[in-house]
């Protein structure tokens, strides 16, 4: 029989005390889609909110094979050795992870998994990117309330997951392989412009020169692109996660970013903006939900979409039909003019 | 007294015959926010739809001073000399243009304004980006029905207007000045990755070498960025709009893009996708409208936003409050999980 769910106070106390079992159960509660759990999760988060915000939130992306796990395992181990408490969250909307996946994540980051100052949590086993994003954001808050002061959110770069991760963290790191340009690296359009730093990984052995050339190419490209902030140009460095080369320099840059951004006030403002944008994302997701909740409207939408696609119907007329099916006011002043 | 509005058939016939006065009146109808006009405009567009799609839709952006008007004036004149019919639409959500602005646009493109194979239309005098985008898209359709076979949509790059324009055209051209990188050019993050071609303008006189160096820097940067299509790498060329240097090569590239993309099928698919995405944009604008139409909900949203910004309220709870104020179902399975 399932264990009875702890009372709200037990969750709050357990998470605040850094009780790992309670933290894990709280995350499971956050991940639940049951109406009753969702209401409890919202209350829990609201109770814990004053104790959140204390971690450095770091996003990390890179194509498969770029060495993300090895790098996080080594970097995380370096950080716990210096007294940090490190949580690693993985965002991967495509994986069909189950209980076994936790083992998978713990295997690929073996040292960190055995480190009692670290906490590794894979993404939920299913769900849309929006759902995965919500649970990852909320898990981040729980980890902060539990006293973790470095949170690394890893993404494999599926769909729009890099954008989603970049929008929930303070610092976004892109990991590259020595070699050619973005398309050959499997990087998606625009990811480079999200980067607060680029690290060319596997700069060890025979690869060192190639990694330096790649870093130089990207450094030149970034000189032309608009920087993440007027006060920060994304550095391009070479590292070896496997050999623990350059990871101190990497962390130094991450700390330096924090100093620069807090001094300018951008750090705090970015967090406030992220929270508000998150609220709007959730509201828009709920509004879109209205389109699919009603099977008749979903069906109508599908038909209209096909006619628009075929060039038989003007998009504005199609939009009007959906609006009136939803009971929104018909063609009126200012309609279809709204833009956030 | 205002002239009586023509009947629908008169608009259809007038536009189809290329009657410039009727085209101008049809655009005014499209731009109107009056409920009655909006309904008539929708009907008109639906009637004209079979006669649209025949133009090459070209977007052009560049920072102020990059020489957009001079380049369009010269390029357009070259094109009408070869038998093309050219319409120029300007997207500028910030300008408070009135009747006088039309004169402004006609002054800054003096030759084209006097050319009876060309048609220049400024953006509406006010409105949100969404509204401006809608009218520009629909004006584009009207111009196609009137027989224009090249449509140039110019934007000054305010807000998200480059993205909006890139999403309504076949080919997106970015105009640069000889000199340093994006931020010094006043280019926004991500614009470079929208470009199907980059032209460094003012490559004349003493500027030629500097323009070539700039072109080379951008060429290197684009080698690293992911290209617009697997079949198309954005060329970087130097031109002088003022001296009519390189504009034939520029047009040749634009034609070559058309050939490559129609051969691969991407041309047609992009247009279909743009039409469907436009429909969804309009629907989402209508849904967002629901948030601001009701003053009580708008007020509530403002208050919640302030509390989220201050770190007092979890975004998910704020979203729930809005959802229930809108009468959407409360915390339920799958809510806030929707993602298009």
Both tokens assigned to A264: 């300018």
Q: Which positions in chain B touch A314 (Cβ < 8 Å)?
A: 42, 45-46, 49, 138, 141
User: Are A284 and B284 a contacting pair at CB < 8 A?
Assistant: yes
d(CA A29, CA A138): 11
Whether the per-residue pLDDT at A187 is higher than 80: the answer is no
Partner residue facing B188 (CB), from A226, A288, A316: A226
Both tokens assigned to A82: 């210096």
- Ramachandran quadrant class, B83 (left: phi over 0; alpha: psi -120 to 50; beta: rest): left
Any B CB within 8 A of A268 CB: no
Q: Is B280 helix (H, G, I), strand (E, B) or coil?
A: helix
Interface of A with B in 297-336 (CB under 8 A): 304-305, 308-309, 311-320, 322-323, 326, 328-336
Kindly report the nearest CA distance between residue A259 and chain B, in angstroms: 21
In this structure, what DSSP letter does residue B35 have?
Answer: H
Strands A118-121 and B118-121: unpaired
Q: Is A221 helix (H, G, I), strand (E, B) or coil?
A: helix
Q: Find the mean pLDDT for residues B125-138.
A: 76
d(CA A118, CA A109): 11
Whether the per-residue pLDDT at A332 is higher than 70: the answer is no
User: Which pTM does this prediction carry?
Assistant: 0.83
Among B220, B232, B337, B340, pick the best mutation site for testing chain A contact (most A Cβ within 10 A): B337
Place B36 in a pLDDT band, splitting at 50, 70 and 90.
confident
Around Cβ A114, how many Cβ atoms within 10 Å? 10
Mean residue pLDDT of chain A comes to: 87
Tell me: the pLDDT tens digits for B263-288?
999 999 999 999 999 999 999 888 88
Tell me: the pLDDT tens digits for B42-77?
999 999 999 999 999 999 998 878 999 999 999 999
Across A86-241, where does the E strand assignment appear? Answer: 86-91, 118-121, 150-155, 171-176, 197-200, 236-238
Kindly report the nearest CA distance between residue B77 and chain A, in angstroms: 31
Q: What is the ipTM of this complex?
A: 0.83
Higher-confidence position of B220 and B328: B220
Tell me: the pLDDT tens digits for A251-303?
999 999 999 999 999 999 999 999 999 999 889 888 888 788 889 999 999 99
User: Are B336 and A291 a contacting pair at CB < 8 A?
Assistant: no
Q: Which positions in chain A touch B336 (Cβ < 8 Å)?
A: 130-131, 134, 282, 285-286, 289
Whether the per-residue pLDDT at B330 is higher than 90: the answer is no
pLDDT value at residue B340 = 31
Q: Which of B189, A148, A252, A149 is nearest to A260 (CA)?
A: A252
Per-residue burial over A264-275, b = 16 or more CB atoms within 10 Å of its CB, e = otherwise: eebbeebbeebb
Q: Which positions in chain B touch A313 (Cβ < 8 Å)?
A: 46, 49
- CA dist B252 → A42, A171, B87, B247, B257 (Å): 59, 43, 19, 8, 9
Q: Find the mean pLDDT for residues A171-177.
A: 95
Q: In the beta sheet, which residues pair with residue A121?
A: A89
Provide φ and ψ at B224, rounded to 5°.
Answer: -90, -35
In what helix (H) or strand (E) does residue B154 lie, and over which residues does it extend?
A: strand B150-155
Q: Which positions in chain A touch B272 (Cβ < 8 Å)?
A: 309, 311
Q: Which positions in chain B touch A129 (Cβ < 8 Å)?
A: 339
Interface of B with A in 25-44 (CB under 8 A): 33-35, 38-39, 42
């Amino acid at each position: 029989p399932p264990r009875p769910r702890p009372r709200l106070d037990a969750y709050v106390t357990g998470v605040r005390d850094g009780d790992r079992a309670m933290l894990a159960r709280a995350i499971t509660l956050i991940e639940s889609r049951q109406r009753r759990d969702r209401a409890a999760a919202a209350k829990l988060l609201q109770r814990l909110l004053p104790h959140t915000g204390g971690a450095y939130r770091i996003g990390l992306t890179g194509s498969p094979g770029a060495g993300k796990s090895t790098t996080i395992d080594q970097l995380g181990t370096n950080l716990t050795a210096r007294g940090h408490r490190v949580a690693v969250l993985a965002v991967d909307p495509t994986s069909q992870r189950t209980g076994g996946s936790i083992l998978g994540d713990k295997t690929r980051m073996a040292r960190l998994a055995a480190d009692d100052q670290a906490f590794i949590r894979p993404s939920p086993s299913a769900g849309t990117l929006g759902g995965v994003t919500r649970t990852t954001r909320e898990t981040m808050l729980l980890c902060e309330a539990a006293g973790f002061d470095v949170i690394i959110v890893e993404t494999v770069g599926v769909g729009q997951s890099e954008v989603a991760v970049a929008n929930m963290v303070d610092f976004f790191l892109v990991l590259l392989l020595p070699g050619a340009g973005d398309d050959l690296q499997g990087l998606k359009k625009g990811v480079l412009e999200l980067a607060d730093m680029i690290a060319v990984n596997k700069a060890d052995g025979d690869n060192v020169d190639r990694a330096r050339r790649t870093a130089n190419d990207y450094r030149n490209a970034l000189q032309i692109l608009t920087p993440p902030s007027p006060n920060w140009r994304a550095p391009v460095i070479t590292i070896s996660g496997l050999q623990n080369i350059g990871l101190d320099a990497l962390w130094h840059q991450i700390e330096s970013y924090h100093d620069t951004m807090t001094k300018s006030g951008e750090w705090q403002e970015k967090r406030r903006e992220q929270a508000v944008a998150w609220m709007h994302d959730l509201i828009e997701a709920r509004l879109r939900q209205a389109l699919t909740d009603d099977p008749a409207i979903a069906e109508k939408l599908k038909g209209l979409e096909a006619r628009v696609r075929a060039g038989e119907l003007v998009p504005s007329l199609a939009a009007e039909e959906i609006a009136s099916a939803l009971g929104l006011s018909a063609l009126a002043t200012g309609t279809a003019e709204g833009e956030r």
